[in-house]
Amino acid sequence: MRIRSAPSRRSRRRAKAPAASAGPSASSPRRGRRPRGLVIGVAAAVALLVAGGGTAFAMDKRITVDVDGQTRTVHTFGGTVAEVLDSAGVALDEQDAVAPSPDTELGQGGMILVRSARDLILDIEGEEQTHRVTALTVGEALGQIGLADEALTLSVERSEEIPLEGLRVEARQGRHLVILRDQVRIEVDTVAATVGEVLEENGITLGEHDEVEPAADTKVTDGMVIDVTQLLGEPKTKEVPIEAEVEERENPDLDEGEKKVVTEPEDGVKKVTYAMVMEEGEETEVVLKEEVVKEPVAGVTEIGTKEEEPEVDPNVGGSADSLNWAGLAQCESGGDPTAVNPAGYYGLYQFSIPTWQSAGGSGLPSEASPEEQTMRAKTLYNMVGGNWQSQWPVCGVHLHQ
């Protein structure tokens, strides 16, 4: 907006009529009265002049012009806002604000409001924004750009005036957080810097023994939860044992159900701080904090998973029970119940899998107990009617030695 010097008003003066002569002049050819028509014509001219002057006076209006808070009265013959501003030497820029609109007709005593555009530069926590506003103060400008209700802390007062050359303002965004006070939840928006300041602005005064988490000097962050516990007395501390855990491991070499302690468990110790609070009208003990003094040591116990093999009666009846089965085993496998021949023979008596199964065995012969292997060998002997040659053609002779 540019303001020009207002043009000066020209004064208008009426010409004075010449003084009337007391009588006819010496050069006058004759003396006598003026013609009546001339008198009427002069009177009409005077009336017309007076009427014309009165019309011009009626068109002169007094308008109040407020430019960026500075007011003055303008006398003008202009009819619209644009004409009045032009006669007052006020030139509008494209982004200036004017009310009423420039084409509005004004009457006597009207008022025009003009606000010049200017820059408000907002630095919100390092993010810079430039806004073109017509507000005179920072607070008004925040309203124009939609930030009036935002929780912002500013480097200047909101009443600070914005000069035509613009203003840079640093701002800190408000935080939304929750205060838990004796199980009552309060949600607040704040620009406070620390937890203590948040409590103060919400009218919460900590008593001598009250607890607040996090601490009062902690910096506020968005989404923070502040837990305030009001205590009925001084907190107390006691030592409490931490029971050690015991890890159980399977041991296939131990009989099923048998236990073996590898490492003895050692309980730990912790300090527990507690106090009395009022909850739903009753005094209740609550734990404020715990501190581990001694870590517990876990114990280790092995649990046996080895299944007991069923007892086997090696006697099957008949003459097979009286034969020299130890001699046969010594010849076939060297007396080793776990012996395995790559050709497909297993155990004390070198059973093949089909033969072993035909005698009622399952799994591998070499995995069965010596008693079961002997019992199966005797059963096989009876099955073939004592024809040991068909089963042990080389070593079978030892059965009768």
Q: What is the 3-state secondary structure (H, E, C) of the chain?
A: CEECCCCCCCCCCCCCCCCCCCCCCCCCCCCCCCCHHHHHHHHHHHHHHHHHHHHHHHHCEEEEEEECCEEEEEEECCCEHHHHHHHCCEECCCCCEEECCCCCECCCCCEEEEECCEEEEEEECCEEEEEEECCCEHHHHHHHCCCCCCCEEECCCCCCECCCCCEEEEEEECEEEEEEECCEEEEEEECCCEHHHHHHHCCCCCCCCCEEECCCCCECCCCCEEEEECCCCCCEEEEEEECCCEEEEEEEEEECCCEEEEECCECEEEEEEEEEEEECCEEEEEEEEEEEEECCECEEEEEEEECCCCCCCCCCCCHHHHCCHHHHHHHHHCCCCCCEECCCEECCCCECHHHHHHCCCCCCHHHCCHHHHHHHHHHHHHHCCCCHHHCCCCCHHHHHC
CATH number, domain with residue 136: 3.10.20.30
The answer to the question of residue 92 being in a domain is: yes
pLDDT of 169? 92
pLDDT of 51? 32
The answer to the question of residue 48 being in a domain is: no
pLDDT of 1? 55
What residues in the chain have per-residue pLDDT under 50?
2-58
CATH number, domain with residue 286: 2.20.230.10
Write down which residue in 141, 156, 173 finishes a domain: 173
Domain span at 107: 61-115
Decide: pTM greater than 0.75: no
CATH number, domain with residue 90: 3.10.20
Number of structural domains (the chain) is: 5
pLDDT of 244? 93
CATH number, domain with residue 210: 2.170.130.30
pLDDT in tens, 36-74: 332 323 233 223 223 333 334 446 789 999 999 899 998
